[in-house]
Structure formats: structure tokens, C-alpha cells
Amino acid sequence: MHNPLLSAFNTPFNSFPFENVKQEDFKPAILEGLALARKDIAEIVDDPASPTFDNTVVALEQAGKQLHIITEAFFNLNSAETNDYLQNLAEEISPLLAAYGNDITLNERLFERVKAVFESTSKNLSEEEYRLLDRTYKSFTRNGALLSDAEKDRLRFIDKELSTLKVKFSQNVLHETNAYTLHITNEQDLEGLPDSVKSAAKEEAKKRNLKGWIFSLQFPSMMPFMKYAKNRNLRKELYVASSQKAFHKNEYDNEDYIKKIVSYRQERAELLGYESHAHFVLQERMASNPEQVDTFLRDLLAKAKPFAQKEVEQLRQLAVMDGISELMPYDHAYYVEKLREAKYNFSEEALKPYFALEEVVKAAFDVANRLYGLSFRKRHDIQKYHQEVDVFEVLENGEHKALLYVDWFPREGKRAGAWMTSYRGQSKVNGQHIRPHISIVCNFSRPYEEVPSLLTFNEVTTLFHEFGHALHGIMADTVYESLSGTNVYWDFVELPSQFMENYCYDKGFLSSFAKHYKTGEPLPSEEIDKIVASANFMEGYQTLRQLSFGLLDLAYHTNQLRPDDSIEEFERNIVREMQLYPIIEGTAMSPSFSHIFPGGYAAGYYSYKWAEVLDADAFAYFKETGIFNRDTAAKFKTLLSRGGTVEPMKLYVDFRGRKPSVDALLKRAGLSV
């Protein structure tokens, strides 16, 4: 029977044929893709010609392309539109893909060819070619090529186990997120909640054939409740439910998975000759070792903590007026919102009518147009995986540049959070320029009845953040896909995304698109002033929170977790210095810390703060020259387009004229005295 994944797609721009594909097509296609990829590898190994850059390194770069496209789509679907079938298949195929990866890096004859090229031809290559050669050589040496046969067997076993454990971890978090609901039947329990929040909760109950109101652990449902609900006991219930995700001592508990993942990563690092997983990871980062990361985070901690303590003290004073003697973590969002209203006289909820999703999307597109000359045209002939997805063709000076898929709303089959990914990378192959297919996935409030999707200001910045990642992919202009777009050092990858958030706080730009969805009235100038003034509101506390995640990640991956430690105790001890609220027994964030256990941020969570130094410094340069200055934008476009073909600090210095300074971040965050 014909499998649409194993033949030419015959779609516009060779886009993924979602609507022609049944989920049952994935397994045979992946198995066939693996067989074809192994054949590609065998042809390189068996080539009688002496190894050269083209017949070995470039050939290896091109090997398994079809498998790559199929698996990218599969794992993207497993994040954005999953079900039991796809989750079970992910568990089944992840070890097979891990084994295939090992079959490449542990193939002695293949490594000998790569090594021969590395030792003989590196002087005659362009900068990009050398980066590819260097990365290819390291992908072998850093993944076991120099190990003994017995050690290679152990590495294969570890990688297979890790691939399964990471899938299970993600599935448990998704299950636990979907399993809990707060069902309210007494309208008094909704006191303090805006009408729009109540309407959305009522709609959710109706969908489930229930009376009353339903709140879930999905961010657009949970966060407004935590901010506005006067009922403290219900805030506590929702907070505790969120803080116990995958931590219930049941079949969906992630405590053992954490221990196994951390233990296997440590063993793997030692096998490869590294002190810890963090030492292994950071060798290929701008921050080159755990000591540098620890120093960076603790320096920021020393600067931010006094500000954070003052901020929480202000919240305590507000809570005392409500008769609360001890402020708890489930009070934080509620009193932050009260303080925001008292300090700046605006509430995020009151501003939502001015941030209709469609207008915010247009504003993000407008920035890309004014900076880089890009335009976005909605296409109705591109297949998509869900009816809610929109697809845009990105054009530069009227020429095709990329496809952009956008998927904005929460669903049961979608994991929480927001992310950018791709269905096809950019590259130049055999004289053909292959342009990328990029995707943004978020979880914003749905439209209901006559009301469009309205964003909180925080969600506006989230959209701009993910769009920044998307631009990194869209602007890609390299020869090799593995060096293209976001394939850069992990602590550099957040620069383009965090850079874009700065535009949300520019008064002139904000006033150009913040308009009431019903009346078209612009957001009053004094309200915009308040948003701009509140840019670093609670920044001390937010910095402390990010630092606690970064230091916890570093602790897990520098061999500090002992086998008999409880995850709750371990986490508590690491974050104690940053903990400004009493602990609630039986809660922990590690069991749902998807960024570092199944995700790619292991030993890299510090990257968010590291990249903030870069983005604040970069935007300071734009402010000096004009935030839409095309000459400055042209330099930044070069930085975006070069991907991983140039060492990131060199790329940054070429753009800025010097190395980044932390001063711009401290000034922007209000953390400089």
C-alpha cells in the first residue's frame, strides 16, 4: 500500500503533507527511513576513494535526509497534537533512533574517514566548511568513537535507556496536566475574577457537559485564577495541584525517571572522559565550564536578591491589610497583580481588549518588515495538522523566503508552554537553495462567542519571543542545514528571541498596534506609559526565580544528586538561598521540569540569563541608532543569517563592534544601584 511519507510530497514548496498522512503511516516510514539512512552510511564507509571533505563530511551531512524530515514531523506532532497512539509509537521508535545515532558515531571505519579528513584538509576549507568538519569530528569524539568495544556497548545501552526515559517523562507531565480540573459550582468562589475569565471557564465546563466553571493547569486557565481569585483556599488548591504534577507516588510519578536520567547522563559523561554531564555539555557553549556558569549565576544572585526581598516585602504589606500574617507562594501572583494596580494603576486583564491576537501577530510581522523587509502572506493551499493552524508564506522583496506555521491555542493533545520548531531546515544542496519551514506553537486564550483571542501583556511578549526564534530560522542563509538557523550554541540561541521582546516596551511602537478590539480606540497614552514604566516590575523576584532554575539544573548535572536523596529535599536544598516564601510540603517543580529532563536545556538553563546580557546590550545599540534603523538591522540580519557557521562571540562582536557588557541588562532590569 502506498505510503505518502516515502514518495515525493508534491505539495507547494514541498511542504509536509499532513492531510494525506495517517498516523499509522509513521512507523513503516520511519523503519524504511532508517534502512535508507543506514544504506547512505554504508555507501560512505565502502567508498573505495580516499576520504575527502566532499565524499565523507558532506556526504554524512546529507545522509538520512528523508528520515530526518519524517521524524521532525513526528516529534513535532507528538508535542503539538498527540494521542495515545503517537505517544506509544514515540516510546517504541525513540530507542531505534538512538541506536541509529550510535551506529554512526561508534562506526570505526566511518570515524577513520572523518579523522583522516580532519587531520589532512582543514587548512584548505572556508570558515563554514571548517565549522562543519570540526562539528562532525567532535560529534564522533564526544560521543564515543574513541571508546573500547565494551564501553561502546555500554554507551549504546545508556542512550537507548535515556531516549525511552525522556519520552516517558514528557508523557507523564502531559497526562498529569490534563488529569486535573478545578470544578467550581458556587459563583461566590469566582469573586475577583474578570468576566472574560469566568466566561472562558464556563465555556470549558460546557464542553465537558458540566454545570458551573472549570479551571485547568493549562497556563491561560490557571494563571488568571491565581492572579485574581479572592478565594485563597482555591488558589492554594490550584497552586498545589500544579506543584505536584508528576509527583503523586503513582504510575505517572517522575521522581524515579529524574534519578535515572541524571544517573545515566553522569555515567555517560564519565565514560567519555568528563567530570560531569555539565562539563560535557558546556565544552560546546559560550560559557565553557560549570565554574563559569556558577560564577555568572551567583554574581547575578548577589545583585538581584536585595531587590527581590524588597519586592516581596511590599507584597507582604499588602497581604497584612487582608489579614494574612504569612504570605505563601499561592498568594504571590494575586498580590503582584494588586501591587501592579496600586503602583501603576493598571491590571493586565484590563489591558487585554487592546491586545487582540490577530493585531499582535500583525505587529510582530510589522517589526520584521521594518527591520528586514519581510512580508507575510496567508496561504490556504498548504496542508496543516489541525484546523486551528494558520500557514504564512514569508517573502523578501517579493521572493519566497520561508513558510511559517502558527498554532496558538491549548488542546488536550498539546504540551504546555510555547516553542518554535521547524519541519524543514534551510540549506544549499546541488545548486538548489532549500528554504525553511518554521513553526511557532503557543497556548493562548481561545476566542469565545463574539470575543476574539485576547492576550495579556505577558502573552504579547511570549509571542514576540517565539517570533524572534522563528526569524532566526527564517533568515537562515548557510550551505549546511546542521549549521543553519537556530543550530547555534545553546547559550546564544535565546539572543534573537529575547531581543524581540524589547519592542513590546517601546512606547511609539506599542501605540501603533494596541487598539481596542471592539471600538478600534488606541490604548491611551498614559496606559502605555504605565506599561513602559512597569517593564522591570518585580524584576528582582523574576531574576531570582530564573537563577533558582539555572542553579538547580547545574546541581543535577554536576553529580550532586545522591541515589538515596529525595527529589523534594534535593531541590529544596539547592534553591534555599533563592526561596523567599515558606515551603509547601509534598511539592516540587523538578518532576515537571521539562526543559532539562526530556528537553534540550540540560546543563543549559542558565542560557536564558546569559542571552539576556546579549539581548539588552544589542537592543541598547538599536536604541542609540534608532530601533528601526535599517543599517543596524542589516548587521543584526547578518548575525541571524549566519547560524552556527561562525563562532558566536565573533558574530556578536562583528555586529556590535565589541564584546557584550552586563551593564545594559542591570540598567534595564533596574538592578544597578
* Stretch (H or E) spanning 402: strand 399-407
* Distant-in-sequence, close-in-space partners of 533: CB < 8 Å, separation ≥ 6: 344
466 is catalytic: yes
The angle subtended at Cα 666 by Cα 660 and Cα 667, nearest 5°, is: 100
The cell for 79 is: 508535542
Q: What dihedral do alpha carbons 627, 630, 631, 637 form, nearest 10°? A: 90
CB-based contact 636:475 (threshold 8 Å): no
Q: Which residue has the cell 574513541?
A: 146
**Residue 409: Cβ within 10 Å count:** 19
Can you tell me whether residue 422 is helix, strand or coil? strand
What are the phi and psi torsion angles at 377 (to 5°)? -120, 125
* DSSP per residue, 476-539: ---S-GGGSTT-S-TTTTTHHHHHHHGGGG-HHHHHHH-B-TTT-PBPPHHHHHHHHHTTTTTH
Catalytic residue among 176, 337, 349, 466: 466
**Three-class SS of 580-638:** CCCCCCCCCCHHHCCCCCCCCCCCCCCHHHHHHHHHHHHHHHHHHHCCCCHHHHHHHHH
CB-based contact 479:128 (threshold 8 Å): yes
* DSSP per residue, 3-63: -GGGS---SGGG---GGG--GGGHHHHHHHHHHHHHHHHHHHHT--SPP-IIIIIIHHHHT
The cell for 634 is: 542589516
CA distance linking residue 61 with residue 70, whole number of Å? 16
| Residue numbers annotated as active site | 466
